[in-house]
Amino acid sequence: MMSAVAACGVDVPGGIDRFAGSERITVEASADIQIVASSVARVASVRIIPDGLTVPRGGIIVFTAVAEDAAGRFLADVDFRWRMRDPLAGTVSAGGLFTAGSVPGAYSDVVEVTAVQSTDAGELTANGAASVVVTSGFIDTSIVSVTVFPSTATVRPGERVALRPGVLGNYGGLVQDMALVWRVTDPAAGEIDQNGILTAGTAPGFYEGAVQVQARRLTGSAPPVIGTASVRILSLEEARGGVRAIVGPSAVIGLPGERFPLVLFAFDFQGRSVPLEDVRWQVRDAGVGVMDEAGRLVLGETPGQYPASVRATGTLGGTYAGRAVSADLDVLVQRPLARVVGTPGEAQVVPEVLRIRIGERARVSLLSFDAAGIAVTTDEVGWRFDASVVTVDARGRALAVGPPGVYPGAISAVAPAVDGETRTVSATVILLGPMVRAQVVPGVVSLEVDGLAQFTALAFDGAGNRLFGIELRWELAPGTPGSVSPSGLYVAGDRPGEYAGGVRLRATQRLPR
Return the domain boundaries, the chain: 23-38+438-510, 242-338, 347-432
CA gap 366, 414 in Å, rounded: 9
* pLDDT at site 142: 77
* pLDDT at site 135: 65
Contacts of 416 (CB under 8 A, 6+ apart): 368, 370, 376, 378, 422
Tell me how crowded residue 377 is: count the other CB atoms within 10 A of its CB. 9
pLDDT digits over 226-245, tens only? Answer: 999 999 998 877 776 678 88
* pLDDT at site 338: 56
- 503 pLDDT more than 70: yes
- 513 pLDDT more than 70: no
Nearest alpha-carbon partner for 113 in 179, 71, 162: 162
Q: Which CATH number does 242-338 carry?
A: 2.60.40
CA gap 429, 201 in Å, rounded: 48
Q: Quick one: pLDDT band at residue 466, thresholds 50, 70, 90?
A: confident
* pLDDT at site 147: 87
Q: Among 10-24, 106-120, 227-241, 350-364, which is the least confidently predicted range?
A: 10-24
Same fold, 242-338 and 347-432: yes
Comparing 6 with 143, which gets the higher pLDDT? 143
Coil, strand or helix at 389: coil
Mean pLDDT of 1-12: 31
Q: Is the peptide bond before 351 cis (omega within 30 degrees of 0)?
A: yes
Q: Measure the CA dihedral 184/188/191/192, to 10°.
A: -40
CA gap 381, 384 in Å, rounded: 9
pLDDT digits over 243-284, tens only? Answer: 888 887 777 888 888 888 888 888 876 667 788 899 999 999
Comparing 376 with 34, which gets the higher pLDDT? 34
Helix (H) or strand (E) holding 236: helix 236-241
* pLDDT at site 441: 85
pTM confidence score: 0.53
CB 198 within 8 A of CB 192: yes
Comparing 407 with 124, which gets the higher pLDDT? 407
The full 3-state SS of 415-468, as one line of letters, equals EEEECCEEEEEEEEEEEECCEEEEEEECCEEEEECCCEEECEEEEEECCCCEEC
Tell me, rounded to whole angstroms, the distance of Cα 87 from its chain centroid.
11
pLDDT digits over 39-80, tens only? Answer: 567 788 888 877 777 777 777 777 888 888 776 667 767 889
* pLDDT at site 507: 94
β-strands 205-217, 225-233: how paired?
antiparallel
Contacts of 17 (CB under 8 A, 6+ apart): none
DSSP code string of 128-152: EEEEEEEE-----SSEEEEEEESSE
Comparing 347 with 30, which gets the higher pLDDT? 30
Q: Measure the CA dihedral 344/55/246/147, to 10°.
A: 20
- 475 pLDDT more than 80: yes
What letter does residue 17 receive in the DSSP assignment? Answer: G
Tell me how crowded residue 257 is: count the other CB atoms within 10 A of its CB. 12
**2.60.40.10, 3.40.630.10, 2.170.120.20, 1.25.10.10: which CATH number matches 347-432?**
2.60.40.10
